[in-house]
Amino acid sequence: EAQVTQNPRYLITVTGKKLTVTCSQNMNHEYMSWYRQDPGLGLRQIYYSMNVEVTDKGDVPEGYKVSRKEKRNFPLILESPSPNQTSLYFCASSLWVAGGPRELFFGEGSRLTVL
């Protein structure tokens, strides 16, 4: 089954404790991206990657890191989480065409709370 898998789905942590949210896709997609969703703000892009070893900042990259060492995996790293990073996080992947992402397939979301 074609899917994007992210873990953990729910996490409560404390300020400053490093954490990683994993993301894996089995569709051989070149393009992967992380979004955060906050009430009234819609989805905002954190980072994206157009292929292995190619990553770039989205609209709200501060406080986050990513890596793309393998095509299927795109982990999101919070080196020192703060309460303003409490949010719902989505990983997504897509084939890449000239007109942009062909169709974003989303993971089920990770609810992160930073105390």
Partner 1 sequence: AQTVTQSQPEMSVQEAETVTLSCTYDTSESDYYLFWYKQPPSRQMILVIRQEAYKQQNATENRFSVNFQKAAKSFSLKISDSQLGDAAMYFCAYPTGANSKLTFGKGITLSVRP
Residue selected from 2, 14, 41, 115 as contacting partner 1 according to rule CB under 8 A: 41
Q: How does strand 100-101 pair with strand 19-25?
A: unpaired
What is the Cα Rg of the chain in Å?
13
Burial status of residue 53 (CB atoms within 10 A of its CB: 0-12, 13-18, 19 or more): exposed
In the bound state with partner 1, the residue whose beta carbon lies nearer, of 71 and 111, is: 111
**Closest distance to partner 1 from the beta carbon of 92 (Å):** 8
Instruction: Report the interface residues with partner 1, using CB under 8 A.
Output: 33, 35, 40-45, 48, 50, 56, 58-59, 88, 90, 92, 98-104, 106, 108-109
